[in-house]
Amino acid sequence: MFAKFYPSRYVESAYLIPYEKLYAKGYRGIIFDIDNTLVPHGAPADERSAALFLRLENIGFSCCLLSNNGQERVELFKKDITEVHSIHKAGKPKIRNYKRAMELMGTDTSNTFFVGDQLFTDVWGAKRAGLFTILAAPMNPKEEIQIVLKRRLEYFVIREYRKKRLKTAAKKFDDAETIADGDMD
Ligand SMILES: [Mg+2]
């Protein structure tokens, strides 16, 4: 019932993803959510996120920020990081702007992955857009009430996802296993 919300991978932090390994597997584009994925909600880029984008550029990735927030918020994050594409008011989980992000990067669903913290917007949209999808645990424990309510629903879906993964091991996730070595859980 919840399977349509399951990410390809679940990580404790976007900063723990083995990006070099994913590049070696053939990935060339990354679409990132910003708030609670890369920095706490509403925060500018910090040293860690600036260093991450520099690292990704050096690896050879194209990146695109995909935020449902407005232009001002996205620009606040962008101003201190290396060159990156961005789309604000993205309307996730609609798939239109995931596709546009790939157009901006010159990549496609075969070599692009998505990183975000919300199941029902970020992950659901990315999956429907055909992307390999990494759910990162949210950074900021202080969230708005509507997000807190969504988190409770997400908790149940993630719990089911983990149970199922344990049961079926790599079998059900063969596709996902081809891009990472199974060490991203
Ligand atoms: Mg977010």
138 CA from centroid of ligand 1 (Å): 7
Residue from 129, 158, 137, 147 nearest 2 by CA: 158
Residue 78 in any domain: the answer is yes
Give the domain CATH number at 129.
3.40.50.1000
The per-residue pLDDT of the chain, averaged, comes to 87
Residue from 120, 112, 139 nearest 37 by CA: 139
Mean pLDDT of 91-97: 97
Residue 185 in any domain: the answer is no
Mean pLDDT of 10-36: 96
Per-residue confidence at 122, pLDDT binned at 50, 70, 90? Answer: very high
Burial class (CB in 10 A: 0-12, 13-18, 19+), 113: buried
36 CA from centroid of ligand 1 (Å): 5
Amino acid identity for residue 100 in this structure: R
Q: Ligand 1 being an ion, which residues bring their Cβ within 5 A of it? A: 33, 35-37, 117
Residue 184 in any domain: the answer is no
Return d(Cα 144, Cα 136) in angstroms, integer: 18
Domain that holds residue 83: 3-177
Residue 65 in any domain: the answer is yes
35 CA from centroid of ligand 1 (Å): 4
Number of domains in the chain: 1
Q: What is the pLDDT of residues 139-152, one digit of tens each?
A: 875 666 667 777 77
Does this model's pTM top 0.95? no
